[in-house]
Amino acid sequence: MTTLVLNAGSSTLKASLIEPGTDAPRASVTETWAVTGAGRQDVEGTFERVLDGVGGETAAVGGVGHRVVHGGDSFRAPVVIDDATVAAIDRLGPLAPLHNPIAISTIRVATSRLPDVSHVACFDTAFHANLPETAWRYPAPDSWLDWGIRRYGFHGLSVEWSVGRAAALLDRPIGRVRLVVAHLGAGCSVTAVDRGRSVWTSMGLTPLEGTMMATRAGSIDPGALIRLLRDGRLTVEELDDALERRSGLLAIGGTADMRSLLDREAAGDDRATLAVAMFVDRAAAAIGSAMTRLASLDALVLTGGIGENAAAIRSRICQRLGIAGVPRVAARKITRDAVVSAGDQRPAVLRIAAREDVVIARAVERLASARAGDPAVRARRTRAAR
């Protein structure tokens, strides 16, 4: 069964066609969201361009998988999408305003365009569903729990893929591997994984908590935010916009593009140098924090756009973590999954490409197969064929 995987992000729609039993996409494409005359994202137009980009072979598609960033308490595993699912994801929009609303719009367009196949939602929060209470609970009054204020964690699909690949590269079963997975890209998070289970992660209730990111600030003293609001410096909406879209690398270095910052740093640009140094400082601190949640550490995994491709950042982070026993690695470009530390050093350092699309495709295959075996589903399809 060919699976169409859709990853609706804040600025782009990514799509890939995945065949059963293979990790290599038959086709893949990334399209920047088109904008309507009214200034809104043109989801229908962008979706049609994505279909054209993967060959337009909708007849071959047996299922569609959708990445959804926030599943809240409602979704702890992938689910077949129905009207109730859409409504529940929609209600979670305020927790991931850059991601969930556009994911819902994409789901609506895709289910309308491809109504006769199973659509499956896969959640970035699901991998962290079994965090220990010490990790998911904030040290705040009990009433906050009644209001839904707790930590969830994100990038779970990327972490799930990294865990499997790391076990293969280390030639050990998942149940015998302890890892720290650092997903460093436009969004950044760090997760401690104890024998396949997430036991701590740097993001919290929303994808704003944690380390410095491309346009997101990461963790900031709540007192500073309260002061900005109390003094009338910013409205709630302005504060939200600043923390989500105008902070991080962009605020310090003037761009969210790490490649550009590294080029400017090499040319002696002070603000670019500061932005890169702050990013490395905070990423290393988050990794060090994650390490303390494990009894031992077999490997540090660096993944995501920066983790995979910015060799200089990998090298500097590992250098900062030398005090914790992480070996130094060369700032050498690598384009395949590999152990980048020398010899049998432990912890090993791994470079792994993020492949959320494969994790999603496998979930679609599992759920679509189970659904196809449901007598009620078979009966509906027989009636529709008549």
- Phi and psi for 10 in degrees, rounded to 5? -70, -30
What is the spatial distance between Cα 143 and Cα 266, in angstroms, rounded to a whole number? Answer: 50
Please confirm whether the linkage preceding 115 is cis (ω < 30° from 0).
no
Q: Which two tokens stand for residue 348?
A: 């090993």
Q: Which of 73, 82, 124, 231 is catalytic?
A: 124
Q: Tell me whether residue 124 is one of the annotated catalytic residues.
A: yes
What is the spatial distance between Cα 232 and Cα 227, in angstroms, rounded to a whole number? Answer: 8
Q: Check if the beta carbon of residue 160 is closer than 8 Å to that of residue 363.
A: no
What is the spatial distance between Cα 67 and Cα 175, in angstroms, rounded to a whole number? Answer: 26
Q: Check if the beta carbon of residue 128 is closer than 8 Å to that of residue 201.
A: yes
Half-sphere exposure in the Cβ direction for 274 (13 Å, CA): 10
Q: Which two tokens stand for residue 261?
A: 């910052």
67 forms beta bridges with 122
SS3 65: strand
Q: What number of other Cβ atoms are within 10 A of residue 214's Cβ?
A: 21
- Phi and psi for 31 in degrees, rounded to 5? -120, 130
What is the spatial distance between Cα 312 and Cα 165, in angstroms, rounded to a whole number? Answer: 23
C-alpha to C-alpha distances, 113 to 25, 48, 341, 363, nearest whole angstrom: 22, 9, 47, 21
Q: Which two tokens stand for residue 50?
A: 């994505």
SS3 190: strand
119 forms beta bridges with 64
Sign of CA dihedral 167, 173, 177, 179: positive
SS3 164: helix
Q: Check if the beta carbon of residue 69 is closer than 8 Å to that of residue 31.
A: no
Q: What number of other Cβ atoms are within 10 A of residue 239's Cβ?
A: 14
Catalytic residues: 124
